[in-house]
Structure 1
Amino acid sequence: MGVETTRIFQHTMPKHINATTVFPSETTCPISGPTLRPLALAARLTCAVLLGAALPAQVMAQSTTAEVNATLPTATVVGRSETAQSPGKGFVAKQSSAGTKTDTPIIETPQSISVITQQQLEDQRPRGLSEALNYTTGAFTGLVGAANRYDYVALRGFNDASVNNALLDGLSLQGDQGSYSSFQIDPYFLQRIDVLKGPGSVLFGRASPGGVVSLVSKKPLFQPYHEVEFTVGNRNRVEGAFDISGPVDQNGVMAFRVTGLARGMDSQFQHVREERFAIAPSLAINFTPNTHLLLQAYLQHDPEGSFNSGVPAEGSLFPRNGPNGGRTISRYFFDGDPTVEKFRRTQRMLGYQFEHTFNDAWTARQNFRYIYGDVRMRQIYGYGWADANNLTRYYAGAKEATHAYTVDNQLEGKFTTGPAKHTLLVGLDYQKRHVDGFWESGSADPINAFNPVYGNPGLTGVTATPIDRWLEQTGVYLQDQIAIDRWRFTLGVREDHAKASNLYGTGTPSEWSGSKFTKRAGVVYLFDNGIAPYFSYADGFNPSIRTDQRGNLLQPATAKQFEAGVRYQPKGSSTMLSAAVFNLEQENIANRPSAQVYYVPTGKVRTRGLELEARSQITDNVSLLANYTFTDMKFVESTEGFVGNTPYQAPRHMASVWGDWTFMPGYTAGVGVRYVGTSYGDSANSFKVPPYTLVDLMLRIDLARWDPSLKGARLQLSAKNLFNKAYVASCMNSNYCYWGDARSAMATISYQW
């Protein structure tokens, strides 16, 4: 797609926009090609349906500019540099706000940042956030294997069993630890994804210590842009999507964007489907050259959600030793029952981003979002062997409603004191999340894991328990980015006050309140040749909504990290090489015992690691992404006797490489290889999950190379786990291991004008 997002909130608007747009020369869709009749027919139908939308845009474009020509799909913005909102060039982004909340060159940020650019998202076409991070250094995405109900990601070895590390446009998505109410943003609605490694609490308050995943949504464009696409794939996958944007008026005051998607498919697991309908309208308003407002909404309904359960290690990692020993549970096995299984999620997000520039020095911003979520869930799940063939099963249900608010007020100033140039950021943010409803629990009859029979699950002892959980946080932060000659210093402090309450059942809720001061400091030196070494320290803070065996809320997790690294960005190139070593410690960690709803404080974990990443647009026709991660994670304090052990789901080695090659005009091939090393299956380190290597493939064809009347149309073929390798992605204990993704294949035809 390759369309640059208009810079709405970065002080200046583009003065010269050359939007190039393609339309058929006739009011029909003349598509020919005797060897491509089915494809041509599909393209003709798509063209016919959208012609009515295309023609008004064409008329407007022709009447307002003499620069419209027939060269698409590109939109060229003249005289503007890359920003933190830009899609990047190829696999390389040079700016990010994830590490500073300001538009800062990545090479000047004293903390590790990886950016999944728009081109990478288009090439790899992830179905969810976890899949989008498959080729990201420091990220382990196999926490729940092939399940796609939630976006679980472990950064630098730390996984708090929630999506507490996800942001959308700089504001927390407010994932609830331990409940069923966590939100997903479909990758089709994203411009890019920035991943900040290590604690980000000075900027964002509560966050997982391993890092934050900052999602950047698609924004309105002040030049016309239109895209539709249709996808089919294995597992009965059918998907349609559209992305329409452009100016509302001829004076550059208002622009809109509407992005939508509908998807239905069978999951990897029998009797379970995935369905999604989502739409994201947005409107940008430039009241004056210095005052801008962006109104945003994201509406999503998932009538059916993916399966989310595991199988025992004996039967997946190892053959089951029963009277008919040597058997393995199918990776497509469903341990629930189709008469019971249900996961339905509705989420609505409404918000705005406001910015006013007072003068060349000072800018004020306010970003706000309201989130509503509704979840209905019924699930039967297996947990351990009942006998030689049958799994013990339990029942869980939930009805939850979530209301969440986040507002972030910022004042940014740029000024000079002597030889030092300052970018000062002062902020006040507030967030609150409230979840109420009820949870159900019970038992079900065992199921034969090798010859399952469905239809009569035998539910017994089902009880409903009311829940009421809320978490509130107010934070004040101060950051100063100082430039002195070739030195770049980043200093930050923050004071948070948080309150939490958790009611499970009736009676008195468990409550906690407290304050935490966090700090951050870093330094970068910029050499003339593009080399930039850096060193930094950062604190982390993450209040918990979880309870211990007595019903008391757990103490907040705290973290501290030292990191040293070096980046190399050759001048005038689209290449970024980076290396980082770190020491990260987290205190007040907790684990949940098997088949329990409470958590047990277990002590302190330390992780040390090395991360290497290379991103390069080597030539106009070749792009490369490669990374390697080494993680040495240990318990240094443990109430369970695990000192010196490695926590589960923490692979010691990970590596990946992805390359794009346009081997002839209009034909691009992409191939990727992912390696995940050995991990332990439990914190006692009683067994290991073996390593696995997966291959992904992509082929994209500009259909205009086949027939000029198909200009603007593309066909993309994609396959993940090309060789259909059967593997266990990870285990939490001997009763809960997760089968990894089986092969998926899809074909997407898209049309842009």
Structure 2
Amino acid sequence: MLTPRRLPLAIALLAASATTQAQQNDAAELAPLTVTGQAATKTETPFNETPQAISVVENEEWEERGAETVQRAADYTTGTFTNQIGASNRYDYLVLRGFSDGSVSNTFLDGLKVMGDAGSYSSMTIDPYFLERIEVVKGPASVLYGRASPGGLVGLSSKRPAFQRAGEVRLGIGNNAQRSAAFDLTGPIDDERRVAFRLTGLARAADTQFGPVEEKRYALAPQVSWDISDATSLTLHAYLQKDPEGGYHAGLPYEGSVVDRNGRRIDNTFFEGEDDHDDFERTQRMFGYEFEHRFNDSLTARQRLRYLNSDVDHQQAYATGWASETELSRGYLTAQEDLEAWVVDNQLQADVTTGSIDHRLLLGADYQQRTTLRSESFGGLAPIDAFDPEYGAEPVGVTPFYDAERDLEQTGIYVQDQMQIGNWHLALGGRYDWVDIHNVDTLQGTDERLDDTQFSGRAGILYAFDNGISPFVNYTTSFSPNSVSDENGNILKPTEGEQVETGLKYQPIGSDSHYTLALFDITQENIATRTNPSDPFRAVGETESRGIELEAHTHVTDNLSLKAGYSYTDATYEKSDVADEEGNNVVWAPKHIATLWGNYRFSQGALKGFDAGLGIRHHADIQANRSNTKSVPDYTLVDATLGYDLGGLGLEGVSARLNASNLLDKDYVASCLSETYCYFGAERSVQASVSYDF
């Protein structure tokens, strides 16, 4: 619960500015060819003026591909590995530039952190149907956001109320008993068009490829925007999501899944658990507001606030290795976790000119508080035959293992100056954080506290040539306090990272095509990691990731669009407490990822109204263990789509779409944490949907 001692600081920050972001309804008046890096700078900064690599995925793009999770929406994003846990959709795992430590805890919704940490079951997810865009910021972003992974962050932007009436109703079906229904309604409430609403809802369910395991979700997002005056606006919003069934989330031994065991291979639909003892139910709630006041053309104040709450009930049987020639040993865990959090961000933006230099100054103060209550027990189940399973075993020896409260408070102040001198664009930023972590475990009898302060900085420079070419270079640092303890009960030291990045951006004049080339070198110290669910965490000494990324969004013709990307990531354990790990490549980090997605829209002839898309995703050089003695075979996946606008048949606003992911039904292992836990990739998924826009 939010304790009284924390309330004064939260209230003080709320009152610190009369502030912030409301619905930007005049956004439609902006130049349509401008791609912005808002998550990278917290200001509206054009793509070719932002001295840092970013990737933007628009709503239309992932809906064209039929993506139903944020990680699937990012499938064609450079520097991003989206198959960390294979076919699992429980969390949005995104490994950025080889760093997996922030995969479920480095997501920000409308500029505010979506709570979740390593070792937590309460990491929240946002359904992409409720989003307008996704921005992946490459490299450290702590200077604006505080605790964050050095690999980057994922900035999600919600759909917001519009002052033009519009709506959509969508129905979908697919294999594995997929079924869904969704609606999205928006428009003005009053005649003066000062108040607008948006109501978005979704219900979705499906079986999975793993035995009796299911996925279910219900979500609703009501919002109201009020233009209080021409200079002041306020948006109230909520996001309510319940996942009664959280799908599959487990791994199997390397021998038997990646390679044969005694001439036999485990089927990629094998379920090692027990239907009566496999459950994941998550309920999450978010309430908040965005407020903005423009004092004049050059001075604007903003405030964003959100309250978050999440409840998780979980039980699971999992394989722990081979017990015999055909049988797998099994562990069993049960957990209950409650999370409650507040987060607020205050900003003051000033656009001023001093001599020949134009400044966009951003001053900010943010605060986040999170309390997690968690109880966990471990036991076992009888072994199961991986090739001829029989179910019905009951858990034995279930013993409470963990009963704790974990508290985290972070207060940060930051400043950023984006300067323009002719064609030169210089970005300087600095931030100072105060972090207080307090963990109490009544079962273990431990009471640990960590008080820490941290400075983060960023400096970047870019030259924007008149022909659309923009070379850039930047230096950024990051930190992320660990809220977990080692085997001695001591809270791990905060991880720290730094990046040097250089690259080239190109956006042809008068075109919405854009291209990026980036080279990076990132180092990080003190990464919290563990090999098994019941193991204590430990800190790997130092990890370094070096690589190159190429990304292109282009319209070859008015009808044909292409998105292509290639990532080379050499992520290694530079220092480790395990001797044979040093110098090895990290797991969960393919050295090569290449993607290509193309879509063609027919504008005339018998096929007018149709569009067709085809995509290829290739992953290569994936290590299966830290000693690099085993690897995951390279794999290539094919996706496809076919859409049709029925307006030409007199059904105005009606459209239909057919999507196929892993079209060729490739049977593959997506990645491994170790030789004990490897993860099957998703089998072929086929979906059909029909939408009515009005």
Partner of 1:647 in structure 2?
586
Partner of 1:354 in structure 2?
291
Relative to structure 1, is the Cα distance of residues 469 and 408 closer, same or farther in structure 2, using a 3 angstrom cutoff? same
Q: CA deviation at 1:726?
A: 0.3
Deviates more, 1:236-245 or 1:632-641: 632-641
Partner of 1:205 in structure 2?
146
| Alignment partners' CA distance in 2, 1:639 and 1:426 | 41
Instruction: Assess if the C-alpha contact under 8 Å between 2:23 and 2:161 holds in 1.
Output: no
| Alignment partners' CA distance in 1, 2:500 and 2:587 | 23
Q: CA deviation at 1:13?
A: 5.0
Relative to structure 1, is the Cα distance of residues 351 and 198 closer, same or farther in structure 2, using a 3 angstrom cutoff? same
Q: CA deviation at 1:643?
A: 1.6
How is 1:100-111 mapped onto 2 (pairs within 5 angstroms)?
100-111=41-52
Q: CA deviation at 1:148?
A: 0.8
Relative to structure 1, is the Cα distance of residues 454 and 624 closer, same or farther in structure 2, using a 3 angstrom cutoff? same
| Alignment partners' CA distance in 2, 1:526 and 1:702 | 40
Relative to structure 1, is the Cα distance of residues 374 and 500 closer, same or farther in structure 2, using a 3 angstrom cutoff? same
How is 1:279-358 mapped onto 2 (pairs within 5 angstroms)?
279-321=220-262, 326-358=263-295
Q: CA deviation at 1:458?
A: 4.1
The one-letter amino acid paired with 1:411 is: L
| Alignment partners' CA distance in 2, 1:78 and 1:178 | 42
Instruction: Assess if the C-alpha contact under 8 Å between 2:22 and 2:235 holds in 1.
Output: no
Relative to structure 1, is the Cα distance of residues 162 and 511 closer, same or farther in structure 2, using a 3 angstrom cutoff? farther
| Alignment partners' CA distance in 1, 2:247 and 2:582 | 36
Relative to structure 1, is the Cα distance of residues 78 and 693 closer, same or farther in structure 2, using a 3 angstrom cutoff? closer
Partner of 2:366 in structure 1?
429
Give the greater-gyration-radius structure (CA): 1
Instruction: Assess if the C-alpha contact under 8 Å between 2:96 and 2:103 holds in 1.
Output: no
Instruction: Assess if the C-alpha contact under 8 Å between 1:574 and 1:618 holds in 2.
Output: no
Relative to structure 1, is the Cα distance of residues 675 and 162 closer, same or farther in structure 2, using a 3 angstrom cutoff? closer
Relative to structure 1, is the Cα distance of residues 197 and 467 closer, same or farther in structure 2, using a 3 angstrom cutoff? same
Partner of 1:371 in structure 2?
308
Instruction: Assess if the C-alpha contact under 8 Å between 1:407 and 1:430 holds in 2.
Output: yes
The one-letter amino acid paired with 2:599 is: D
Cα shift readout 1:443-492 (whole Å, capped 9, x = no counterpart): 11111111111122343333353121121100000000000000000000
How is 1:730-749 mapped onto 2 (pairs within 5 angstroms)?
730-749=671-690
**The one of 31, 36, 46 aligned to 1:81:** 31
2:495 corresponds to 1:552: no
Cα shift readout 1:563-616 (whole Å, capped 9, x = no counterpart): 001011110011101100011000112331445331122210111100000001
Gapped regions of structure 1 (runs ≥ 5)? 1-7, 15-76, 83-88
The one-letter amino acid paired with 2:407 is: W
| Alignment partners' CA distance in 2, 1:266 and 1:169 | 32
**The one of 463, 466, 470 aligned to 1:528:** 466
The one-letter amino acid paired with 2:600 is: W
Relative to structure 1, is the Cα distance of residues 590 and 146 closer, same or farther in structure 2, using a 3 angstrom cutoff? same
2:647 corresponds to 1:704: yes
Instruction: Assess if the C-alpha contact under 8 Å between 1:588 and 1:604 holds in 2.
Output: yes
Instruction: Assess if the C-alpha contact under 8 Å between 2:381 and 2:393 holds in 1.
Output: no
Q: CA deviation at 1:649?
A: 1.3
Gapped regions of structure 2 (runs ≥ 5)? 1-19
2:344 corresponds to 1:407: yes
2:470 corresponds to 1:509: no
**The one of 603, 608, 611 aligned to 2:549:** 611
Question: RMSD in angstroms over aligned alpha carbons?
Answer: 1.4
**The one of 325, 344, 353 aligned to 1:388:** 325
Deviates more, 1:415-424 or 1:655-664: 655-664
Partner of 1:251 in structure 2?
192
| Alignment partners' CA distance in 1, 2:273 and 2:103 | 23
Cα shift readout 1:681-720 (whole Å, capped 9, x = no counterpart): 0111110111100000000001223x21x11101100000
Relative to structure 1, is the Cα distance of residues 283 and 112 closer, same or farther in structure 2, using a 3 angstrom cutoff? same
Partner of 1:224 in structure 2?
165
SS at match of 1:107: helix
Q: CA deviation at 1:10?
A: 8.0
Partner of 2:53 in structure 1?
112
**The one of 682, 686, 689 aligned to 2:632:** 689
| Alignment partners' CA distance in 1, 2:94 and 2:533 | 23
The one-letter amino acid paired with 1:352 is: Y
Deviates more, 1:122-131 or 1:202-211: 122-131
| Alignment partners' CA distance in 2, 1:594 and 1:180 | 15
Relative to structure 1, is the Cα distance of residues 10 and 510 closer, same or farther in structure 2, using a 3 angstrom cutoff? closer
| Alignment partners' CA distance in 2, 1:261 and 1:597 | 38
What TM-score, normalized to structure 1? 0.87
**The one of 138, 152, 155 aligned to 2:96:** 155
**The one of 131, 137, 151 aligned to 1:190:** 131
Q: CA deviation at 1:179?
A: 1.6
2:567 corresponds to 1:632: no
SS at match of 1:650: coil
Q: CA deviation at 1:12?
A: 7.4
Q: CA deviation at 1:440?
A: 1.5
State the percentage of identical aligned residues: 45
Instruction: Assess if the C-alpha contact under 8 Å between 1:245 and 1:255 holds in 2.
Output: yes
Cα shift readout 1:342-389 (whole Å, capped 9, x = no counterpart): 111000000000000001111000000000100000111111101111
Q: CA deviation at 1:131?
A: 1.0
Partner of 1:679 in structure 2?
622
How is 1:462-611 mapped onto 2 (pairs within 5 angstroms)?
462-463=399-400, 465-506=402-443, 507-594=445-532, 596-611=534-549
Partner of 1:24 in structure 2?
none
What TM-score, normalized to structure 2? 0.95
Q: CA deviation at 1:79?
A: 4.2
Cα shift readout 1:228-248 (whole Å, capped 9, x = no counterpart): 000000000110000000001
Instruction: Assess if the C-alpha contact under 8 Å between 2:161 and 2:223 holds in 1.
Output: yes
The one-letter amino acid paired with 1:389 is: T
| Alignment partners' CA distance in 2, 1:508 and 1:78 | 55
Instruction: Assess if the C-alpha contact under 8 Å between 2:530 and 2:538 holds in 1.
Output: yes
SS at match of 1:454: coil
Instruction: Assess if the C-alpha contact under 8 Å between 1:593 and 1:600 holds in 2.
Output: no
Relative to structure 1, is the Cα distance of residues 11 and 715 closer, same or farther in structure 2, using a 3 angstrom cutoff? closer
Cα shift readout 1:188-233 (whole Å, capped 9, x = no counterpart): 1000100000000000000111000000010001001110000000
Q: How many residues align?
A: 669
Instruction: Assess if the C-alpha contact under 8 Å between 1:381 and 1:393 holds in 2.
Output: yes
| Alignment partners' CA distance in 1, 2:617 and 2:198 | 35
* Greater RCO, CA 8 A, separation 6+: 2
The one-letter amino acid paired with 1:422 is: H
The one-letter amino acid paired with 1:587 is: E
